[in-house]
Each structure stands twice: as structure tokens, then as C-alpha cells.
Amino acid sequence: MKRIFFLLSVILPAWMTAWAEAPNRSDSPWFAAPYTGEKVKEYELTLPVSRYEEETFVIPRDCKKLNSRLLAGAGHWGNRVQRRLWLKADDDCRYLNYLKQNPHRGDKDFVSDYDFMNARIADLPLRPGCDLYVLLRDPQSCPEPLPGMPDFTMFMMHREHHPQEADNDDCRFENGVFRGSIYPTPEGIVCRKDPRAPGYRILSVDYADVNGDGYLDAVLRLTTIGRRASRPELLVLPLTRFSANEPFTIPKGAEYPRMGPTNEGWIY
């Protein structure tokens, strides 16, 4: 399955600037309006559904109708920008469904008071599904990164290349952005921030109990940034914890559903 990308000139620039804001604590997430990146609760989109027909969708109100048209093959119509917008609207609909798949809000909350826009890297799963200390001791024993989730080990450098200026205080996001290198040491990790290096930007933070275990989860939407991220990728990272004094983990059974174009057509 291919990853879902958006055209740089259509969606991401304004979104990346406008969305580095406080986490969303409301019941409905914000979306980026097509073309402008404006932060909105809903947006209108007109797309081709056949060679000669167009249809207008209000997202997220018309998510079921949009999904029906995609299953009928409408996502193949239109120019490159329009086909990317089919993907964007579908991804926004699936993201909303993901947040609302469990109707009950978790009553045990150890996530909403955390400042994810300035999160410590050590508090996050460097490789989802692998404990930080296991990763530092035996990285080969860790599973491959899950599709659609960020993998901070892409920034990890060999220990022997550890520079003197690397600092543990640099191992954090700053206003939703981390760009730099991560170095493993016997005491944990240290980092060297570099504005020219690749990295991640946190676009939004929402809250829901995505796996229905009674614990509130934080759901981060991120994108890759930097020179090596010539095709920015949208990623979803669900996080939970069971006390206020432990790192975050991926909620069990909380994998994010992905859909994308393949050679055979659209698949879920």
C-alpha cells in the first residue's frame, strides 16, 4: 500500500504554518481547508465523479457519500490535484471516524495535561512497539515501524559519531517541530538540533479513547519536513499512558486505518 501524500503547492504550506497551535479539546477535530490551509470545522469540495459530472461534498458532513463515490471508483477521475484532493477528503473522513469509533470518552486521563507541542523525545515511542531501553540495547529485536506512524529512529546516529555539542535538552519538540539528530548513549539519548535537518512537525493534537479501554488517548497528526522529505507524508500517532510518570505508548488495538491507490485500484 502506498503512503498518502499531498501536493506541496496545494495543501501543506499553509497547513504547516497555521496548525502549530494548542491541542484540540473539543468533540470535533479541525481540518485544513483545501488550497488555503485555513483551520476549519468543515469545508466544501467539488470533485469529478465521471468524465462529465461533478459533485459537491461538505466534509465531514458528507463523508458517507464521499466514501460511496470512492468505492465506485470516482477517485480516479480528475487531474492530479483533484485526485490528491479525493485522498485528502477521504483521509479527513477516516480520521474523524477513528476519533469517534468509541462513543465513550476515557474517564482515566493521563494525557491531556501534557504539552505535546513541546514534547520530550524520550517520552514518545522512538519506534512504536519497542521500549526505548530495548531499542538502545538491541535495536535488531524491535519490530518494523507500523505503516502510517512516525519512526524517530530515522534520526538516530551511530554512537561513535556523538558530537560534543549534542545535549539532552535538545531532545524535544519546540512549538510542534523537531529537526535534528538523535544519539544513543548508555544513559539514554541526546540530540543535536539542526534547522537544515529532516524532522517532524506536529499539525494537531486531539483526544479520544480510540480503543475503548477507559483511558483517554492523545492522537497526534504529523508531517515529515526537511530536504529529504520532498514528498511530505501525513502520519497519525495515537498515544496513551496509565500514570502521569511514565513514557507514552501506542494504545493496544488502536492501529490507524489506511487507504490508498494501488495498481489494482483503491483498497482499505
Residue 259 has a pLDDT of 47
Band of pLDDT at residue 172, cut at 50, 70 and 90: very high
Q: Which among 222, 205, 173, 248 is positioned nearest to 3, based on CA atoms?
A: 222
Mean pLDDT of 55-74: 94
C-alpha cell at 61: 458532513
Q: Decide if 110 is inside a domain.
A: no
Pairing of strands 177-185, 265-267: unpaired
Examine the domain organization and report whether 66 and 121 are in the same domain.
no
**9 pLDDT higher than 50:** no
Residue 12 has a pLDDT of 45
Q: How far apart, in Å, are the Cα atoms of 152 and each of 27, 85, 172?
A: 29, 28, 12
Q: Which SS3 state, helix, strand or coil, does residue 223 take? A: strand
Entry pTM: 0.79
Q: Please, which residues have CB within 8 angstroms of residue 254's CB and are 6 or more apart in sequence?
A: 210, 211, 217, 238, 240
Examine the domain organization and report whether 65 and 125 are in the same domain.
no
Q: Which SS3 state, helix, strand or coil, does residue 4 take? A: coil
Examine the domain organization and report whether 137 and 223 are in the same domain.
yes
pLDDT digits (tens, 9 = 90+) for 222-247: 988 876 545 567 789 999 999 998 88
Domain coverage including residue 187? 116-239
Examine the domain organization and report whether 155 and 41 are in the same domain.
no
Amino acid at 64: K
Helices (H), the chain: 12-18, 63-71, 80-99, 132-137
Largest CA distance in the chain: 63
Q: Which among 235, 213, 15 is positioned nearest to 125, based on CA atoms?
A: 235
**2 pLDDT higher than 70:** no
Share of the chain above pLDDT 90, in %: 37
Distance CA 114, CA 132 (A): 19
Band of pLDDT at residue 161, cut at 50, 70 and 90: low
- Per the prediction, the chain carries an average pLDDT of 79
Residue 162 has a pLDDT of 57
Examine the domain organization and report whether 63 and 163 are in the same domain.
no
